[in-house]
Structure 1
Amino acid sequence: MKKSYLWIIGIIVVIAVVVFGIHSYSNSSKNAKSDTITIGSQGSDLEIWQHIAKSDEAKDLGLKIKVKQITDGVQLNKATADGDVDVNAFQSWTYYLAYNKQNKKNKLAALGTTYLEPLGIYSKKYNSVKDIPDGATIAIANNPSQAARGLLLLQKAGLITLNDDFGYLGTVNDIKSNPKNLKFKEIDDTTGPRVLKDVDAVLISNTVALEGNLHVLTDSIYHEKVDQSTKENINILATSAKNKNNASYKKLVKLYHEKSIQKYIKDKYYGTKIEVKKPLSYLEK
């Protein structure tokens, strides 16, 4: 009886040790996972964050970063809002506002500013916007914020005039005056460089232009200037609304603006990603 009793106690102790070990391993795995920040991105921004993730500056701030590629902007924002991605790095302030307006039950929150990339008008046929003829076809992005941004640039270039109340979700229906009777062809923004030969001019975001070996400051026939009129096109880091006060996520903004990181970005992208280190209140005014 005594031996049986001791055997039973021994078995109970072994089971307890095993259960405790599994529980401890499970908790440590969860903690390790929660300590790693998953950043969703695309294009050149993806390359930047892959570099940042491996940097000494990230280690100095105690940040473990995993970078995930999602090439569709809407899906990337949805993955962020759902929590499948912690933070995303790819969108402008206007793109962010447009997404939140269309997804009021699953909103994002901005963490901080990163840079401005000038949007450009490109053409294989003409060397100046003044040379664009009557009836020309202009390719514009099929997503709302990029389309509106492109139309504002066409207005600044003197090609069209927009309604006074034109907003960040404005469309071609808001064109007040079109003296050259321009035609507009909607395209997926990522295809811009490939359709250059098929139309008279194309509006291409800088990230996409770089991927197509185009330099906005030298290859475009007209591009945005960095001033107050383009502040809504500043890029940001975004997270789900419930994580807007996450201290680790906010460190990513500081990390992005570290001097050595900025030197890498400037050298790699030929100065086309212009650093903007401003409080969010600058964009919200």
Structure 2
Amino acid sequence: MKNSKGIIYTLIGIVVLVGIVFGIHTLTGNTSSAKSATITVGSQGSDYDIWNHIADSKQAKKLGLKIKVKQITDGVQLNNATAQGSVDVNAFQSYSYLQAYNQEHKKAQLAALGTTYLEPLGIYSDKYKKVSELPDGATVAIANNPANTARGLLLLQSAGLIKLDKNFGALGNTSDIASNPKHLKFKEIDDTTGPRVLHNLDAVLISNTVALEGHLNVLKDSIFHEKIDVSTRSNINVLATAKKNKDNKNYKKLVKLYHNAAIQKYIKDKYDGTKVEVQKPLSYLK
């Protein structure tokens, strides 16, 4: 009997010990999990500033989100970092830019988490006040990356300056121009240099992120800019992540956080309304 009781007490002791060890492991695991809950958001330009504000906001804390903001100034490098996992979510690009990236990087696919805003692309000129004033043979600067080249050409078509082929796509370029009645000449430039070359050319297409950095307001200073309609829906900016993470619940909370009323008021006041909020389902973009 004594031996039996001894065995029983030994077994109970082992069970208790295992329970304590398991409990410690669970607590350690939870701590590790909490640390890994930090979301790294990659961004650039004015969007980098916005996400630093969001990361420090009361609204982020209420949603239980810990956000670290990382700046990568090259769009392709930022998308590569997101696809590879050193960045969890990025906030800088239009849906058309994301599509163009996916077409060119078959092994590094990204997916949109949700819409944020339309930042109108504008046509700027130091010499002319209307697009109709552009002379025959005028030189127009457009972005030298595929997505923004196509977007710029679509804007020139909307302005009535050119006509594009019917099958013009996300990676379209100047070879897809069907009609160019003003015999415009096109100069491809790095997106970020637009404001600096403005005085040298007849017209320059400048994204609003770059325009803001050059102290330009697309709604006031451009001679023509994008409007919000079906034709510009692929130009709506999105939050993006690696395709495998597209259903991550915490990442999706970032979309809700961006559209919080207090956050939107901050963005509208700081950027003079040039980042036009768009809260649409992803199906709207397709």
| Same fold per superposition (TM over 0.5) | yes
Answer yes or no: is 1:129 the counterpart of 2:137: no
Q: What residue in structure 1 maps to residue 212 of structure 2?
A: 210
Aligned residue runs from structure 1 range 46-195, under 5 A: 46-195=48-197
Q: What residue in structure 2 maps to residue 3 of structure 1?
A: none
The alpha carbon displacement at 1:26 in A equals: 8.1
The alpha carbon displacement at 1:104 in A equals: 1.3
Cα deviations by residue, 1:105-138 (Å, 9 ceiling, x for unpaired) = 1100110000001110000111111111111110
Q: What residue in structure 2 maps to residue 45 of structure 1?
A: 47
- Give the AA of the match of 2:237: N
Aligned residue runs from structure 1 range 228-247, under 5 A: 228-247=230-249
SS at match of 2:135: coil
Q: What residue in structure 1 maps to residue 19 of structure 2?
A: none
- Give the AA of the match of 2:138: A
Cα deviations by residue, 1:164-216 (Å, 9 ceiling, x for unpaired) = 11111110000011111111111110111111011110000111101100000
In 1, Cα distance between equivalents of 2:137 and 2:31: 62
SS at match of 1:167: coil
SS at match of 1:248: helix
Q: What residue in structure 1 maps to residue 265 of structure 2?
A: 263
In 2, Cα distance between equivalents of 1:100 and 1:168: 11
In 2, Cα distance between equivalents of 1:245 and 1:153: 33
In 2, Cα distance between equivalents of 1:222 and 1:78: 33
Q: What residue in structure 1 maps to residue 17 of structure 2?
A: none
Q: What residue in structure 2 maps to residue 17 of structure 1?
A: none
SS at match of 1:35: coil
Cα deviations by residue, 1:41-65 (Å, 9 ceiling, x for unpaired) = 0001001100000000000000000
Structure 2, unmatched stretches of 5+, are 1-21
The alpha carbon displacement at 1:27 in A equals: 5.5
- Give the AA of the match of 2:133: D
In 2, Cα distance between equivalents of 1:76 and 1:25: 35
Q: What residue in structure 1 maps to residue 18 of structure 2?
A: none
The alpha carbon displacement at 1:33 in A equals: 3.7
Cα deviations by residue, 1:128-168 (Å, 9 ceiling, x for unpaired) = 11111111110000111111010011011111111111111
Alignment TM-score, normalising by the size of structure 1: 0.89
In 2, Cα distance between equivalents of 1:149 and 1:225: 13
Cα deviations by residue, 1:62-118 (Å, 9 ceiling, x for unpaired) = 000000000000000000000010000000010000001111111001100000011
In 1, Cα distance between equivalents of 2:89 and 2:194: 27
Alignment TM-score, normalising by the size of structure 2: 0.89
- Give the AA of the match of 1:105: K
In 2, Cα distance between equivalents of 1:202 and 1:124: 9
The alpha carbon displacement at 1:25 in A equals: 10
SS at match of 2:36: helix
Name the count of aligned residue pairs: 265
SS at match of 1:242: helix
Instruction: Work out the percentage of aligned pairs sharing the same amino acid.
Output: 72
Q: Which runs of 4+ in 1 moved over 4 A?
A: 23-30
The alpha carbon displacement at 1:228 in A equals: 1.2
Question: What is the RMSD of the two structures over their aligned residues, measured on CA atoms?
Answer: 1.8
In 1, Cα distance between equivalents of 2:242 and 2:120: 27
- Give the AA of the match of 1:136: A
